[in-house]
Amino acid sequence: MQTRLRAGARQPMSRLDRCLNIADLRAYARTQLPWGLFDYIDRGSDDELALKENRRAFDRIQLRTKVMVPLDKADLSTTLFGKPLKMPYIISPTGIAGMCSYQGELSLARAAATRGIACAVATGSVTPMEQLSAEAGGRLWFQLYMSRERELNYGVARRAHRAGFEALVVTVDSGFNPGGTRENWRRTGFDQPFAFTPRTVLDIACHPGWLARVILRYMRTSGFPRHVNYPEGFQESVLPAKGRTKAPRVLDQSWDDIARLRDVWPGILIVKGILRVEDAIAAVERGADGIVVSNHGGRCMDVAPASIDALPEIAAAVGHRTTVLLDSGVRRGADIVKALALGAKAVMSGRSTLYGVAAAGQAGAEHALKLIENEYRLTMGYVGCPTPADVTADIIAHRPRLTPG
């Protein structure tokens, strides 16, 4: 009996297993990265008003339970652009996963494929899009920041199509200011471009584990990380180099660019970074198949509203004509249910899985998705919705403000 007990004794829990929610994963990630790199992921613009408001707005929403609803045939998957997703969730594009963990972008894409969801890969990623497509499988979207030379954009779009990406996500909220308004990152030096200062050197020296696991491993294999998905001629290293050619900022982008991309890109076209009805309508009229209601995770205009507060009005205006996705601030499975109730077809999140990948690579990203999926399943049970189609606005106990005052 004693032996059997010993044989059946539980393995000690790993640090990852002890992460019970995204906040725990965030704390774990913090211990794995240089302080400045963690801040680069974690923080927002200026006074971080938009960053904080994203969470406050979600927290203000309460859902009403509905009891005695049979859940034995519950199916929490959805169909997005004609294909299945195991839950209504897509990993948002973030050009930094490859610096948090060796081949972090591949880890994110593989985690998404394993958990049956889609993953958007950022323009600034350091793993070639062809490698991601060949080695990750699953549903992959490519995010494009437009550059001034339009032909370069079309070249990147064609390359993504050849590589098998199903959707092009054009981010429109920050092209004129690609660095964002980023006092916090300028202070730490972990900005774009990275700055070699006594502070950043000390920071990295204090994190030899990260240096060995990530940077030295790149040096031994593919060489120092570069922006390999930028247009040809601009695929610079992530480090600053004298006289290097930077991809030019785009100051003259307009809705005509979306119409033109619609002609060039044969796949699903999504416009990311919409916060007002007129812009949502303009995107639909230029041929977008979907829009992402997003304030860029509080990393662009600091006085922007929370995306979840902007969602109901936009979804009411264009939800019948296009696929509306909600991004920014999602940290819990309950947030998915809130966004569905307010008109989104699915949600996107950047930091949730970034914390996971920074903490423990692919296993960490999968863990983040499992936690969110489990919370989503439980919340759907509490509100008595066996499928996403059953989620309607009447489950909301308190609606978010639509207009000030």
Ligand X SMILES: Cc1cc2nc3c(=O)[nH]c(=O)nc-3n(C[C@H](O)[C@H](O)[C@H](O)COP(=O)(O)O)c2cc1C
List, by residue number, the catalytic residues: 296
Judged by CB, which is closer to ligand X: 124, or 333? 124
| 110, 131 Cβ separation under 8 angstroms | no
| Whether the Cβ atoms of residue 337 and residue 346 lie closer than 8 Å to each other | no
Interface of this chain with ligand X, residues 268 to 327, rule: CB under 6 A = 272, 294, 296-297, 299, 327
Cα dihedral 175/179/180/184 (nearest 10)? 170
Helices (runs of H) and strands (runs of E) counted in the chain? 17, 10
> Which one among 45, 78, 92, 147 touches ligand X, defined by CB under 6 A?
92
124 lies in the site for ligand X, by CB under 6 A: yes
Residue 191 C-alpha from the chain's centroid: 19
Is 330 a binder of ligand X (CB under 6 A)?
yes
Q: How far is the CB of 164 from ligand X (least distance, A)?
A: 20
The mark string for 199-238 relative to ligand X (x by CB under 6 A, - otherwise) is: ----------------------------------------
Cα-based distances in Å from 279 to 51, 247, 273, 284 = 22, 26, 9, 9
Q: 153 or 294, CB closer to ligand X?
A: 294
| Nearest approach, Cβ of residue 235 and ligand X (Å) | 15
Angstrom CA distances, 126 to 95, 181, 230, 333, stand at 8, 23, 9, 29
CB atoms within 10 A of CB 297: 24
Q: Which residue is nearest to ligand X (CB)?
A: 350
Give buried/exposed letters for 46-60 (b at 16+ CB in 10 A, else e): bebbbbebbbebbee
Question: Using CB under 6 A, which of 41, 132, 268, 344 touches ligand X?
Answer: 41
Question: What residues between 42 and 71 interact with ligand X by CB under 6 A?
Answer: 54
Contact call for residue 143 and ligand X (CB under 6 A)? yes
CB count in 10 Å sphere of residue 16: 18
CB of 91 to ligand X, least distance (A): 9
Report, in Å, the least distance between residue 25 CB and ligand X.
Answer: 13
Q: Which is nearer to ligand X, 19 or 385 (CB)?
A: 19
C-alpha pair distances (Å), 318 with each of 139, 143, 166, 259: 25, 22, 22, 18
CB of 78 to ligand X, least distance (A): 19
Among 96, 214, 344, 357, binds ligand X (CB under 6 A): 96
Q: How far apart are CA 362 and CA 328, in angstroms?
A: 22
- Given 33, 106, 112, 122, the residue binding ligand X (CB under 6 A): 122
Least distance between ligand X and beta carbon 349 (Å): 3
Out of 190, 351, 365, 375, name the contact with ligand X by CB under 6 A: 351
Backbone dihedral angles phi then psi of residue 319, each to the nearest 5 degrees: -60, -25
Q: Contact letters (x/-) for ligand X, 357-376, by CB under 6 A?
A: --------------------
- Report the distance separating Cα 389 and Cα 376, nearest Å: 14
Q: Is residue 34 within the footprint of ligand X (CB under 6 A)? A: no
127 forms part of the interface with ligand X (CB under 6 A): no
Contact, 306 vs 59, CB < 8 A? no
Residue 2 has a CB neighbour count (10 Å cut-off) of 6
**Is 34 in contact with 204 (CB distance < 8 Å)?**
yes
As measured in angstroms, the least distance from the Cβ of 387 to ligand X is 24
**Interface segment toward ligand X; rule CB under 6 A; list 122-130, 133-141, 246-254, 395-403:** 122-130
Kindly state the smallest distance separating residue 170's Cβ from ligand X, in Å. Answer: 9
Number of residues that bind ligand X (CB under 6 A): 25
Strands 83-85 and 78-80: antiparallel
Residues 169-188 that bind ligand X (CB under 6 A): 171
| Interacting residues with ligand X (CB under 6 A) | 40-41, 54, 92-96, 122-124, 143, 171, 272, 294, 296-297, 299, 327-330, 349-351
